[in-house]
Amino acid sequence: MRRMIEMIKQSAIPANMMRTAAKGALSVAPAEMVEILVYLSTHPIFGNEARLTLAGFDQKVAKEVCADPRTSSDVLSYFVSADNLRLPLLSSLLENPSVSEDMVTRLAMQASSRVLANMLWHPRVLNSKSTLHAISMNMSLPEEDGVVVRSALANLGENTEYLIEQAQLDAEANELSVPNEILDAELDRYVRDHADEIAADEDKPFDLYVHTAPSQPAESPETSGAVVGGAREVPKLVAFATVTPERTEDGAVPDPSIKKKVSAFQKISKLGVGQRVQLAIKGSKDERFILVRDGSKVVCVAVLESPKITDQEVEMFATLKNVQEGVLRGIAGQRKFMRNYAVQRNLACNPRTPLDVSLPIMKSLMINDLRSMSKNKNINDTLRKTAVKLYKQRSEKKSE
């Protein structure tokens, strides 16, 4: 007996059965159902329905399909593409030997910063020069994860000096040029509005804020909706470069960009609150990255008032868990930040974002992000239930 997928490819079944297939409701093995849906995803009539079904396909089954070396290359190519990738499936795909190096490289060049951060946890990626080079060329790569890429390439014997120089040029190009008059005016306004808070905290030494969360199961890189690279790497890198300022045990010279961050960290640690507020508004990107996690609320919130802050920085700040609640409220309270969809999504997915901030954002989220949140056990139960409700409403509306 011929497989159903073969009959569909030969247009040997009626339209009503094709519609049933696009909804994933045929009585066939799960692996064949996925193969049918991938084939129908490009169909001019049933394509939208098939893509929607794939986006919500049972995660356990999808993982098994993506991990199976016998899965067809068309199915693997579909799931590993940047447009269709579901983050919980990433590890299964990377561990599947049938997922070619070319597929992974294409993903590395097109993936979002959140996907890149998760890729950088995987041994296959860390041991592949071609993939690491592809990641280094991705415009979405944050500088903090760029350090990880360059370190991994150096471990594989690659000369990364040109990547370091390029990263420094990119950082300088991305740093907004703002006239001193505007910076001075913004600093004067902030100091005037927060004079009492600055005076109260003036003797408070610099210390990175650390949120003490209730005891709970450790997050897995593949199931968490938050970025697992970036900010999380900085304390490790600071410690590494501080302990070995000249050379590592094997004689390698540490990445100069790490030393640059250490220099900023050491500079900030010697400043009082008033000086740190000034640096938060007038300083560099590296300094803002450190100060947004300052233990003094008046300092970390001042970072958001800097005229030099970029959209990319705010997107990343919205994912951080070790920041004071005032930072996340501050981001949500500024219309210029909330016009950026990535900021809205990152705030909604961040378990540290207060519920009264997250809930109103939910209505603006896209259906795929609602689906991800509906399965994210790291967020508040109320948020997850709201995501399930909104996802069902949007799905039903699309299928009408």
Residue 223 has pLDDT above 50, yes or no: no
Judge contact between 112 and 141, C-beta under 8 A: no
pLDDT band at residue 313 using 50, 70 and 90 as cut-offs: confident
What residue has token string 């990119």? 170
Q: Does residue 254 carry a pLDDT above 50?
A: no
Is residue 165 very low, low, confident or very high in pLDDT (cuts 50, 70, 90)?
A: low
**Cβ distance 120 to 149 under 8 Å?**
yes
Instruction: Look at residue 290 in the predicted model and tell me its pLDDT.
Output: 85
Span 105-115, mean pLDDT?
89
Q: Please, are residues 109 and 138 in contact by the beta-carbon 8 Å criterion?
A: yes
Q: Which tokens in the block code for residue 139? A: 């415009």
CA–CA distance, 172 with 191 (Å, rounded to integer): 28
Residue 375 clears pLDDT 50, i.e. is over it: yes
pLDDT of residue 176: 67
218 pLDDT band, cuts 50/70/90, is: very low
Q: What are phi and psi of 280, to 5 degrees?
A: -60, -35
Write down the mean pLDDT value for the chain: 81
- Which amino acid, residue 380? N
- For residue 240, pLDDT over 60 is answered with no
> Residue 183: enclosing H or E segment and its boundaries?
helix 180-193
> Percent of the chain scored above 70 by pLDDT?
81
Predicted confidence at residue 259, as pLDDT, reads: 53
Q: What is the mean pLDDT of residues 33-41?
A: 92
Q: What pLDDT, on a 0 to 100 scale, did the predictor assign at position 222? A: 38
- Could you report the per-residue pLDDT of 172-217, keeping only the tens digit for each? 555 667 888 999 999 999 999 999 999 999 888 888 777 665 444 4
Q: Which segment of 81-95, 106-120, 134-148, 180-194 scores lowest on mean pLDDT?
A: 134-148
The pLDDT tens digits for 82-96 are 889 999 999 999 999
Buried b / exposed e along 361-400 (16+ C-beta atoms within 10 A):
bbeebebbbbbbbbbbebbeeebbebbeebbeebbeeeee
pTM of the predicted model, to two decimals? 0.53
Indicate if the pLDDT at residue 58 is higher than 50: yes
The pLDDT of residue 237 is above 70:
no
Judge whether residue 155 has pLDDT over 60: yes
Confidence of residue 81 (pLDDT cuts 50, 70, 90): very high
Q: Which residue has the higher pLDDT, 74 or 243?
A: 74
pLDDT at 177: 75
User: Which residues make Cβ contacts (< 8 Å) with residue 361, sequence separation at least 6?
Assistant: 332, 344, 347, 348
Highest mean pLDDT among 203-212, 264-273, 348-357 belongs to: 348-357
Count of CB atoms within 10 A of residue 182's CB? 11
Residue 26 pLDDT > 80, yes or no? yes
CB 68 within 8 A of CB 53: no
The pLDDT of residue 162 is: 55
Residue 250 pLDDT greater than 50, yes or no: no
pLDDT at residue 206, as a whole number: 84
Residue 244's pLDDT band, with cuts at 50, 70 and 90, is: very low
Given a cut of 80, whether residue 118 has pLDDT beyond it is yes
The residues near 96 (Cβ < 8 Å, ≥ 6 apart) are 66, 67, 68, 69, 71, 76
Buried b (16+ CB within 10 A) or exposed e, 284-319: ebbbbbbbbbbebbbbbbbbbbbebbeebbbbbbbb
